[in-house]
Structure formats: structure tokens, C-alpha cells
Amino acid sequence: MRRRLQTVAALALAAAAWLAPGVAMAGETSDWVIVVHGGAGAVTPGSYSPEDEAGMRRDLGRAVETAVRILSEGGSSLDAVTEAVRLLEDSPHFNAGRGAVFTADGENELDASIMLGRSGAAGAVAGVQGVRHPILAARAVMERSPHVMLAGEGAEAFARTQALEFMPAEWFHTERRRRALEAAQQQAASGGSVPAWGTVGAVALDMRGELAAATSTGGMTNKRWGRIGDSPIIGAGTWADAGCAVSSTGWGEYYIRAVAAYDICARVNYLGEPLDVAARHVVMERIPAMGGDGGVIALSADGAISMPFNTEGMARGFARSDGTMRVALFADE
């Protein structure tokens, strides 16, 4: 059954067909494009309460609409992806910022990265605590430091020098994530292991033809020992160059090993593959062959979009300058 974001009137007026998983609008061009995701995984009808599902659709739609306002007014792709991800970091419905999962110690450790296409400028933070918007910290690293990645207490200290907002630990705690931690620990105690992860991200093309990508996450439920996934790693979770931009979501260890985001764009740039062919090869073939799963959102300089995922679903949405706008959660939307 097709589901639409009922609280956003613009979605009801959109006339173009929704992109099925992994189907790109190849060869088309547009003045600007925004694509967002709220993570791939066990996203199936009935897996969320009606309230949670409505909240996911609402907040995903708000992120898209915010980016639309920026891009339609001539704003940059960098600002568009920053603001889209920042809003999703404030949503308790996604595994980033306020909705971040718990570590084995009952804490929230946050990762984020951002990249600008033509210049290759990039910034990332990993394993930070208390930073309300890790994506703003990642952008500050890119724009106001000589480094690409900062981690842990050092990243937090840098964020304070940039006057970024910090929140108390309790602000990040949600009952849903607490239950997920308990379930994961029970699985571990019985000898089982069920990875529980999620991510948010955005890719955008602005009126000047500039691409940008951004990704943010709370990582994996019940993670230990300062585990870092792919989201803050340039080339694995996030990549943007002059021709292609990608934000990944999935089992981070495999996306790191596959250098997944970069691999997609490399196949486009060096092999001449259509964006969807490249994205599907990595997500539907290479990652599963290694034992991982997940999805990506990918965008090329000609406005082609690809959103393949090999999981039960992926929260996702996009909008174009022609007025097309869509938000979806499940595989059959």
C-alpha cells in the first residue's frame, strides 16, 4: 500500500511517480535536487506504532521541505544537506542525535561527516557525547580547522570552541532506544547477535551544479570499546565529488571494508557506469557478498537519483525543482 506524509500538503500534490528501490531517474537534469534518508533496516509495516510511523514520516518530510526552501532560493547544496541532517538529529525517531542508540554502557556516542563535491573539502567527528548537532561539529571541522576528523573528548573540546550547543545526557535518552539496548543485551547473553543500527543522511545538487553529502548516526546498539562505524569515515559512509554524492546507511563494518560511498562514485567516474548500476552493484551485490546489509542514497551531477537497499525497508525522501516530492519508509512504496 502506498503511504504518504499526510501532514505535508505538497506531497499530496506531487504528480511524478515514486522511485522504487534502486530505480534511478537516469539522464534527467534539474535545477536542484535533495535526497534524504533516515536509515535502512527492519522497516516494515507494523514494526512501528502508528505514532512512531507518523513521526518518522513527518520529520523526514520536514527535513526535505527545509532543504527545498534553501535550494529553491538559490542556497548551496552544503547548507541544504547540513540543515536536513540537523533536523533529523533533533528527531527522536531516527538513530542520530536525540534518537541515538545506546552503547553497552548506556551512553550515546555520536558520529557525523560532511563533504563538498568540487573542492573535496570534508569534515567529521566520531564518538562525541553531548553535542546536540554532530553534523554542525563535522562542518566546523571542515571549515574552521586544518583537520578532517576529530574524535572523542578532543572533538568535544573543539565543538565548545565553536560555541556549538551541548545537551545533558538525558536529552538523548529515549524509551524506544532503551528497550532496544535491553533486547540486544539479552540476545548477547543467550549467545545471539542481532546488529541494530541506523543512520540519517542527505545528498543535494544546487543551482550551481555543486554536489554535497552529509551523514550522522548514533552507531550500533550495544556497541563497545569506542566502536566507530562508517558514517564519519570519508569514502565509506559519505562521499561527494564533482560528479556524484553518496550517503550510506547499514552495517558499518562492511561499508568501511567496501569503501562503499567512494566505490559507487568511482564506478560512475572511472568506469562510466550509470549511477543506478553503480549503486546497485555495491549495495545489492558487493555488500551482501561480504555478509553485510543496508542501503544508500546517491545523486549524480545530471540529477539522477538512486536509492537501493537490501533490507526490509529504508526511510527515504526526495524533492526536485520541478515540484516532485516524495517520502517513504517501506519497500513497496
Judge residue 58's burial from the number of C-beta atoms within 10 Å of its C-beta, 0-12 exposed, 13-18 middle, 19 or more buried: middle
Q: What SS3 state is found at 328?
A: strand
**What count of other Cβ atoms lies within 10 Å of the Cβ of residue 7?**
11
The set of cell numbers assigned to 253 is 563494518
Helix, strand, coil percent values for the chain (each to nearest 5): 35, 25, 40
Q: Is 311 a catalytic residue?
A: no
The set of cell numbers assigned to 40 is 535502512
Question: Distance between CA atoms of 297 and 202, rounded to whole angstroms?
Answer: 8
Question: Distance between CA atoms of 64 and 319, rounded to whole angstroms?
Answer: 7
Q: What SS3 state is found at 322?
A: coil
Q: In this structure, are residues 115 and 213 in contact, taking their beta carbons and an 8 Å threshold?
A: yes
The DSSP line for 25-65 is -TT---S-EEEEEEEEES--TTSS-HHHHHHHHHHHHHHHH
Catalytic residue among 66, 103, 199, 311: 199
Question: Distance between CA atoms of 195 and 53, rounded to whole angstroms?
Answer: 21
Q: In this structure, are residues 88 and 94 in contact, taking their beta carbons and an 8 Å threshold?
A: yes
The terminus-to-terminus CA distance of the chain in angstroms comes to: 7
- Catalytically active residues are 199
